[in-house]
Amino acid sequence: MASKTKFQAIRGTRDLLPPETALWNRVEQTAHEVFATYGFGEIRPPIFEPTELFARAVGGETDIVSKEMYTFQNPTGLAPMVHEKEMVGTLAEMSPESEMISLRPEATASVCRAYIEHNMQQLPQPVKLYYMGPMFRRERPQKGRYRQFYQIGAEILGGPDAPAIDAELIEMLMTFFDKCGLQGTELSVNSIGHAADNCRRGYVALLKAELEKVKDKLGADSQRRIETNPLRVLDSKLEYEQPIIATLPRIADHLCDECKTHYAAVKHELEQRGVIYRENWRLVRGLDYYMRTTFEITAQGLGSQNAVCGGGRYDGLVELLGGPPTKGIGFAIGEDRLILSLQESGKGAAPQGRDVYIAWMGERAYATAIRAAKDLRNAGFRVELPPTELKFGKALERASKLGSRFALILGDNEVADGQWTLKTLADGSQQKLTEQALLEYLLKP
Ligand code: ATP
Ligand code: MG
């Protein structure tokens, strides 16, 4: 007997439906267009990869890898065809050497893997790639935070050590947000130097010493981070920790000369490009290979999940994954949040109505209606042709419910004398037109 289970989308996942999907398409189309003008090509990496890739690239200690990934065993060989009931058995039979794989929680690791796998260091450098698609993280679902969410991201791999690369990437990002119509964007930038004693390592040691002094006034999370990752204390959103954090030493005062010069040049280039930014010395990344430029963009209407994009430079990552020493910088936009913000500020998609609803009655009229529908669709109009005959009154009712602009009324009379009736639904006015005149009328802007 058929089960009565009422299925629902899994917690933290959701269906994207029309008309909202039209907005998603517009945003993605804008990304394709803007990124292409900056010389980027699209990469579509797989949705799952070896768990080890993420563990290495994102870091085994991070929340993402230690508790948020969807990880499972990849059965080796081909799974035998089994009846549903027997499936449990095949899971148990999986060989122990089958590898662990994970749904991707982000895509930078995959892009770097692909760069190495396809020897892209032999292409003209730098290589500029972008991607878009779903990511998976087992987080607590809330507004702007899902377990399947979407990112649009870009990476620049290889090439010289030039601050212009950082600045142009950020310029492209802000151009994209601007073309999307995103409101209230704020770009924050920082430099976190590089992992050397005369640069970030020295700073972190100093920070740690200062944090030890105020340890008692900090919360449990921050206390733990003094040991595991002192930089992350700067991330804290806890109200009572803010005045303490404000007195801590700042990384900008402890950068080595090269990183200081690089940071100054990035800011200068942003100004030359008319990109408005503010500096946020607390914008950090907890991983060793992140270096120099980090940035984040927030937008309005998102509550506490207001970061729509995070990015930064990661010169050591490709090498960490077994490739040649390669420079790298990239960003990831949270598409769900971008869309939410656009909707909140009234920049959502217009409801998708029909241009023409064909109200037909009679067999001869139906034949003409089929042809007319085809011709109008060929000309690019959105046309609704009812699949069954409806009385004109009923048909017109449907036409307005669907948000149609026009109803084309085709009865046997209209077909016989070649004068079709076009009704404008907004004001109810009607006119008689030949087929040719009708098309011309509709095509008029
Ligand atoms: P957050 O601090 O909001 O958790 P994050 O530091 O985990 O963000 P990144 O890994 O840098 O974020 O990802 C880049 C962007 O992806 C974020 O700025 C955000 O817009 C989006 N994002 C991250 N996690 C989620 C999620 N679970 N649901 C929806 N969007 C997300
Ligand atoms: Mg997160």
Closest CA to 353 of 22, 115, 126, 5: 22
Cα(48)–Cα(122) distance, integer angstroms: 26
Out of 305, 331, 335, mutate this one to test ligand 1's pocket (max ligand atoms within 8 Å of CB): namely 305
Rounded distance from Cα 381 to ligand 1 centre (Å): 39
CA of 146 from ligand 1 middle (Å) equals: 9
- Ligand 1, atom nearest to 309 Cα: 18
Distance of CA 180 to CAs 46, 173, 337, 366, 434, Å?
27, 11, 13, 42, 41
Instruction: Name every residue whose Cβ is closer than 8 Å to that of residue 238 and which is 6 or more positions away in sequence.
Output: 219, 221, 222
Distance between CA 64 and CA 45 in Å, rounded? 19
**pLDDT at residue 14, as a whole number:** 97
Burial of 281 (0-12, 13-18, 19+ CB in 10 A): middle
At 407, the pLDDT band (50, 70, 90 cuts) reads very high
Instruction: Label the pairing between strands 291-298 and 278-279.
Output: unpaired
Point out the ligand 1 atom lying closest to the alpha carbon of residue 307: 18
Asked if residue 307 has its Cβ within 6 Å of ligand 1, the reply is yes
CB of 54 within 6 A of ligand 1: the answer is: no
How remote is the CA of residue 235 from the centroid of ligand 2, in Å? 12
**337 Cβ inside 6 Å of ligand 1:** yes
Predicted confidence at residue 209, as pLDDT, reads 95
For ligand 1, the distance from its centroid to the CA atom of residue 150, given in whole angstroms, is: 9
Q: What was the pLDDT predicted at 36?
A: 98
- List the one residue out of 404, 351, 415 whose CA is nearest residue 381: 404
Expressed in angstroms and rounded, the spacing between residue 175 Cα and the centre of ligand 1 is 21
**Amino acid letter at 193?**
G
Kindly state the percentage of the chain with pLDDT values over 90: 82
Tens digit of pLDDT for each residue in 86-120?
A: 544 444 445 555 689 999 999 999 999 999 999 99
Closest among 43, 187, 228 to 123, alpha carbons compared: 43
Q: Which atom of ligand 1 is nearest to the CA of 338?
A: 20
What is the rounded distance in angstroms from the CA atom of residue 42 to the CA atom of residue 32?
8
Which atom of ligand 1 is found nearest the CA of 145?
Answer: 28
289/239: higher pLDDT: 239
pLDDT at position 28 is 98
Find the angle CA(73)-CA(78)-CA(79) to the nearest 5 degrees.
70
**Minimal CA–CA distance to 303: which of 441, 142, 414, 434?**
142
Say yes or no to pLDDT of 61 above 90.
no
> Residue 285: CB within 6 Å of ligand 1?
no
Q: What is the pLDDT of residue 89?
A: 45
68 lines ligand 1 (CB under 6 A): no
Q: Which residues does residue 383 pair with via DSSP β-bridges, in sequence order?
A: 356
Which-ligand-closest: CA of 144? Answer: 1
Q: What pLDDT shows up at residue 354?
A: 86
Contact (CB, 8 A) for 410 and 433: no
Does residue 162 have a pLDDT over 60?
A: yes
How many percent of the chain have pLDDT more than 70?
93
Q: Ligand 1 center to residue 334 CA distance, Å?
A: 6
Q: How many helices (H) and strands (E) does the chain have?
A: 16, 16
- Overall average pLDDT of the 52-57 stretch: 94
Closest approach atom of ligand 1 to CA 63: 7
Query: How much distance in Å is there from the Cα of 12 to the middle of ligand 1?
Result: 14
pLDDT of residue 330: 98
Crossing angle for the helix pair 363-378 and 435-443, nearest 10 degrees? 40
**Tell me: the pLDDT tens digits for 169-186?**
999 999 999 999 999 999
* pLDDT tens column, 327-339: 999 999 999 999 9
pLDDT at 348: 78
Mean pLDDT estimate for the chain: 92
Q: Global pTM?
A: 0.90
Q: Going by CA atoms, what residue is nearest to atom 8 of ligand 1?
A: 307
Ligand nearest to the CA of 140: 1
Higher local confidence (pLDDT), 242 or 82 = 242
User: What are 134-147's pLDDT values in tens digits?
Assistant: 999 999 999 999 99
What pLDDT band is residue 35 in, cutting at 50, 70 and 90?
very high
Q: What is the pLDDT of residues 190-203, one digit of tens each?
A: 999 999 999 999 99
* Ligand that comes closest to the CA of residue 304: 1
63 CB within 6 A, ligand 1:
no
List alpha helices for 145-235, DSSP H. 163-180, 200-214, 220-228
Q: Ligand 1 pocket, 62 CB below 6 A? A: no
For residues 406-427, give the mean pLDDT.
95
Ligand 1 close to Cβ of residue 132 (< 6 A): no
Q: Does ligand 1 come within 6 angstroms of the Cβ of 229?
A: no
> CA 103 to CA 148: how far, in whole Å?
10
Check if 168 has its Cβ closer than 6 Å to any atom of ligand 1: no
Which pLDDT belongs to residue 2? 59
| Nearest ligand 1 atom, CA 144 | 29
Q: What ligand has the least distance to the C-alpha of 312?
A: 1
Of 54, 88, 56, the closest CA to residue 71 belongs to 54
Question: pLDDT at position 78, please?
Answer: 64
pLDDT in tens, 241-264: 999 999 999 999 999 999 999 999
Q: Write the residue with the smallest CA distance to atom 6 of ligand 1.
A: 310
H helical segments located in 56-162? 63, 87-92, 108-117
**pLDDT at residue 44 is higher than 70:** yes
55 alpha carbon to ligand 1 midpoint, in Å? 18
